[in-house]
Amino acid sequence: MSETPSFAGRAVTVQVPATTANLGPGFDTLGLALAQYDHLEVRVRDEPGVTVEVHGVGEGEVPTDETNLVVRAIAHTFAAYGQRMPGLNLIAQNVIPHGRGLGSSGAAIVSGILAAKGLLEGIVDLDAEALLALATEMEGHPDNVAPALFGGLTIAWMTPEGPKHKKLMVHRGVKPLVFVPEHVMSTALARSLQPESVPHEDAVFNLSRSALLIAALIQSPELLLTATEDKLHQSYRATAMPETNRLISLLREHGFAAVVSGAGPSILVLASDPGQRLVAAELVAKESETPWRALMLAVDFQGATVAPIVSDAAA
**Residue ranges at the known binding site:** 97-107
Strand partners, 176: 270
Among the listed residues 171, 135, 131, the one whose alpha carbon sits nearest the alpha carbon of residue 153: 171
- Whether residue 81 contacts residue 87, with contact meaning beta carbons closer than 8 Å, is answered with no
Helix (H/G/I), strand (E/B), else coil: 82:
coil
Among the listed residues 90, 94, 8, the one whose alpha carbon sits nearest the alpha carbon of residue 49: 90
- Whether residue 71 contacts residue 109, with contact meaning beta carbons closer than 8 Å, is answered with no
> How many Cβ atoms from other residues are within 10 Å of residue 124's Cβ?
17
Provide the annotated binding site for ATP.
Answer: 97-107
- Residue 56: left (phi > 0), alpha (psi -120 to 50), or beta? left
- Whether residue 18 contacts residue 37, with contact meaning beta carbons closer than 8 Å, is answered with yes
- Whether residue 108 contacts residue 69, with contact meaning beta carbons closer than 8 Å, is answered with yes
